[in-house]
Chain A
Amino acid sequence: MTTYYTKDHEWIRVEGDTGTVGITTYAAGQLGDVVYVELPESGAKFARGDDFAVVESVKAASDVYAPVSGSVLEVNAALTDAPETVNAAAEGEAWFVRLKLSDASELSGLMDEAAYAAFCEGH
């Protein structure tokens, strides 16, 4: 199980050909109080970089982008009723979707934890 990160502050935890996707703790902190999460339908297909979800704070709405291409196996419906979970546990309980990866080679374009930490440091 390996976790990868994007420059748009998503994470993806990969096991075999499935990946669990969410936004990072850093991103949640930048957004502030999350009040709404809009998730895709199960079965929806996304290419890498497509916006597949929306996360809204009191002040603004932000798109969430697919770290890699894939189709949605499952969405975390609990976020709809408890969007504040994103602030409490962004990289755990507050996962957004599970994806079936369509091209695992895309993962090589993502950052590991150390590289992502350095990337955030630079911001």
Chain B
Amino acid sequence: MSVIVEVNRIRLTGRCGVEDAEALLTALQANPAYAIDLADCRTLHTSIVQVLLVSRSKIIAEPVELALRRWLLPLLASGGQAFELLPDGIGFSVP
């Protein structure tokens, strides 16, 4: 179970695969103003990113997973327009 509808928000958790796209779409169509919480999301399939891009849902919590943050955050922020990827390994490795 990766798509969890809560009060005012929809949480995507763990590995969100293509099979979760329809559940997310249904949840968003029922609650279009709900924001998306990606804090516990590990991976996000393209099909789900498409839903987020088209619905233009507000992201209220960013994913923690570094590999995902790298491209997903700038992608959602730019709505798909040309964006710069975050550098690899933004984490604890501050020199």
Do A and B assemble together? no
Interface residues of A (CB under 8 A from B): none
